[in-house]
Amino acid sequence: MRASACAACAAGAVALGAGPASAGVPATGVIATVRVGTQPDGVGVDPATNTIYVANALSNSVWVINGATNTVTATIPVGAEPYGVAVDPDTNIIYVANYGDTTMSVINGAYNTVDATIQVGSIPKHVAVDPDTNTVYVTTDAGNTVSVIDGATNTVTGTIPAGNAPQGVAVDPDTNTIYVTNASDSTVSVIDGATNTVTTIPVGKIPDDVAVDPDTSAAYVANFGDDTVSVLGGPATITAPRPVGRSQSTD
């Protein structure tokens, strides 16, 4: 599932930051719009360095933004059609899934250089990092698999079967659990990171992305096809889908 075409994406800009706030109220609003490459798709943040990394699919590059000044500090050439981005704040390494050439670029955040290019499965989409185990997980849309990469050696150590058209991926480091959304199956593959065994859980229609709350270990799945969010309360449980706003675009 490709990223939606929005006004900001077409213009090659990323909105950052928040506006003024009264006491006790979180800040809201756009305070900066940063010009980046063509068709920005993925974005990752390194909280340790206050640095933002934006993958620009049609520029074949990652643009680096200083979060303190909202200025572009570097442009890094990567593979073809970079899509998903993940940051390991413990190692200052950035991982970029290149949709167009079945590779993943490994960026050294200290020098803004590509230290390795790893061959992964067909049509890599999203990427997630478990900083506790220094393991990287990449979904491959056409391959219906998840590639497992050792972050210490930049080598593929395994391939885990997922459902049809795996899209989003998220990691819960506390439980060593990986969640993968399967768009064509309307399921989530729940992977035990210690054994790479998979449990399959049905969710809403056309699940696209997933995120984990590290405080509660709950996983939240955005279901593109029926305007709901499924909430997984643990590795093998799910609550009723919650209705949300309607999707505004298709791939």
Residue-by-residue pLDDT tens, the chain, 251 positions = 444 434 344 447 776 654 444 455 566 788 899 999 999 999 999 999 999 999 999 999 999 999 999 999 999 999 999 999 999 999 999 999 999 999 999 999 999 999 999 999 899 999 999 999 999 999 999 989 999 999 999 999 999 999 999 999 999 999 999 999 999 999 999 999 999 999 999 999 999 999 999 899 999 999 999 999 999 986 545 454 555 545 444 34
Take residue 226 and report the two structure tokens written for it.
């029926």
Strand pairing category for 228-232 and 207-213: unpaired
Q: Which among 160, 145, 66 is positioned nearest to 112, based on CA atoms?
A: 66
Bridge-partner residues for 128, per DSSP?
Answer: 137
Give the whole-angstrom CA distance, residue 98 versus residue 50. Answer: 24
**Is the C-alpha dihedral spanning 27, 30, 31, 33 positive or negative?**
positive
* Predicted local distance difference test score (pLDDT) of residue 25: 53
- Token pair of 93 as six digits: 């390494």
pTM metric for this prediction? 0.85
CA distance 7 to 177: 35
Cβ atoms 143, 162 nearer than 8 A: no
